[in-house]
Amino acid sequence: MAGKQAVGAPMTKACLTTHGGASRDMDQRIQQNLETHGVTVLTTPQCDRNTDGVDMTVTYNDKWWWDIVMYMKEVDIHFYTAPVGKLIVSGEWHNSVLHQFPSADGVVANLMDQMFNEASGGAVRTATAAK
């Protein structure tokens, strides 16, 4: 969902709040997808909305369950303007009760593609898209 108050917000440099530990792979997936969209990424365990030189902060929550193997149950990703902290866009994905074992890489890539598409409203706002 795009934040009406943040339409047109620049999305070229982000601070990603990382989780580390068991979510280290998700940290890397999200960082790689941001970079794929032309966003320069600063990673830290806690982004401060006043982090110098960033346009937005990125947060996420992921949940994994066990059923023969670990599988992703859900992921929610949020982009906020910096330093104000207004929502730019959020995306969420939830596995079904009769779950599948989807590729987390594919889920994150598809979700972030949708988020960038929704946030852009057809306007070019990332460094790669501007080229």
Yes or no: say if 112 and 91 are a contact pair by the CB < 8 Å rule.
yes
Q: All domains of the chain, ordered by start, with CATH?
A: 4-118 (3.40.50.10070)
Yes or no: say if 129 and 14 are a contact pair by the CB < 8 Å rule.
no
Per-residue model confidence (pLDDT) at position 126:
44
> Which two tokens mark 126?
């990332």
| Residues with Cβ within 8 Å of residue 130, at least 6 apart in sequence | 38, 124
CA–chain centroid gap for 97, Å, is: 24
Which of 112, 119, 118, 79 lies closest to 93 in space, CA to CA? Answer: 112
pLDDT digits (tens, 9 = 90+) for 58-74: 999 988 877 787 778 88
Average pLDDT of the chain to the nearest whole number? 80
- pTM > 0.75: yes or no: yes
* Phi, psi of 13, deg, nearest 5: -140, 125
* Average pLDDT, integer, range 108-120: 90
* Average pLDDT, integer, range 28-45: 93
